[in-house]
A = this chain, B = another copy of it.
Amino acid sequence: MSANTLGHLFRVTTFGESHGVALGAVVDGCPAGVAFDPALLQAMLDRRRPGQSAVVSARDEADVVEVLSGVHDGKTLGTPIAMCVRNRDARPGDYAAIAAAPRPGHADDTWRTKRGHVDPRGGGRASGRETVARVMAAAVARMLLAEVAPTLAVVGYARAIGPFSLDDADAAAVTDTASVDQHPTRFPSADADRVAALLADAKRDGKSYGGIAELRIEGVPAGLGQPVFRKLKADLAGAMLGVGATAGVEFGDGFAAAQAEGSEFHRRESSTHYGGIRGGIATGEPIVLRVAFKPTATVLDEAKRGRHDPCIVPRALPVLEAMAWLVAADHWLLARTDRTDTLR
């Protein structure tokens, strides 16, 4: 089944277990002639990597990508682009106990039910490590869109971490990823230090917090998205909840819209409360979405105590951004055949 493939035209298939030989992605459907930017690829992986600061997990993986196919002389060939990274920091010893006792809050038991086995090496595909492959593929999506839809930009930041929430002004002030990354917590606010302290304490004390990530997708060409089952919000929602530890997604005003009265709601000047999508199709306005994360379950894992992520949101942001790039690339290609007058 296509459980490991995303997209209809820009198709990504990922492989690899968290503590197996390697993780990788095959991108099929990227047009020929896209300038391939290895530095962007590596930079996107580095942003995803744990071990960057005191507030994220200490596991260190160099994550050096090897491009196995699909690129020649700095350009994509139109053939499948296969990329992989080797696993170097596997500590099977840490995971030996898992075979005997599935960890609470993890997927060990559901996989045993499903597949008739437990992969004792860190949960296999259910590990957050799997997302390295998504980020590799997203780098290719971004290279493609940089050429064909250069206005398109994705920027993400922590909207809430445990009890802390970013206010609207701070959220609106975010202009790019670099400014977000100045904060290890990716919580761009005057409260950033207090949030960092909260997470450092949590890590020491074996605690963890939930949080909310917010993405702004700007410069989306109007008309992207498809009706009915592949509405842009449907594909984005599916992509976001395909990331581990997520508990919900909302667009524009989201759950707050549920309490609104319509003759007010629809007459507002700004339409950011729509989330930039109407009838499933991009309006050209920014798409704003938020993803809720549960507190990490690793906190319960005695073996990883002290090496866990006290809040997954900072590390999840590059992955959510990756999913947005992947969905955008696929929809951009799909929209090439929307109408005949642009085809001739």
Binding site for B on A (CB under 8 A): 1-6, 8-9, 11, 13-17, 20-24, 26, 28-29, 31-34, 66-70, 72, 75, 77-82, 84, 104-107, 109-111, 113-117, 119, 121, 123-126, 130, 144, 147-148, 160, 162-163, 206-212, 222-223, 225-231, 233-242, 244, 246-255, 257-263, 265-267, 274-275, 278-284, 292-297, 299-300, 333-344
Interface centre among A6, A262, A339 (most CB of B within 10 A): A262
The distance from the CB of A211 to the nearest CB of chain B, in whole angstroms, is 5
Dominant secondary structure of chain A at its interface with chain B: mixed
Q: Which residues of B contact A123 (CB under 8 A)?
A: 279
Number of copies: 4
A339 to B130, alpha carbons, bound, how many Å? 21
Q: Which of B78, B227, B296 contacts A339 (CB 8 A)?
A: B78
Q: Is the CB of B110 within 8 A of A34?
A: no
A117 to B72, alpha carbons, bound, how many Å? 10
A126-B280, A279-B244 known; A343+B31 contact, CB < 8 A: yes
Q: Which residues of B contact A67 (CB under 8 A)?
A: 21
Q: Is the CB of B258 within 8 A of A212?
A: yes
Q: Which residues of B contact A212 (CB under 8 A)?
A: 255, 258
Q: Which residues of B contact A115 (CB under 8 A)?
A: 32-33, 77-78, 338-339
A22 to B24, alpha carbons, bound, how many Å? 13
A279 to B251, alpha carbons, bound, how many Å? 24
Q: Is the CB of B238 within 8 A of A15?
A: no
Q: Is the CB of B275 within 8 A of A247?
A: yes
A262-B209, A344-B147 known; A3+B240 contact, CB < 8 A: no
A226-B3, A266-B104 known; A68+B340 contact, CB < 8 A: no
Q: Is the CB of A294 within 8 A of B280?
A: no
Q: Which residues of B contact A293 (CB under 8 A)?
A: 257-258
Q: 18 additional contacts, CB 8 Å, given A21-B69, A210-B257? A: A4-B80, A4-B227, A5-B229, A13-B28, A22-B69, A72-B124, A77-B119, A104-B267, A114-B335, A116-B342, A144-B340, A208-B261, A208-B262, A247-B257, A258-B293, A262-B295, A262-B296, A266-B299
Q: Which residues of B contact A237 (CB under 8 A)?
A: 237-238, 240-241, 249
The distance from the CB of A133 to the nearest CB of chain B, in whole angstroms, is 9
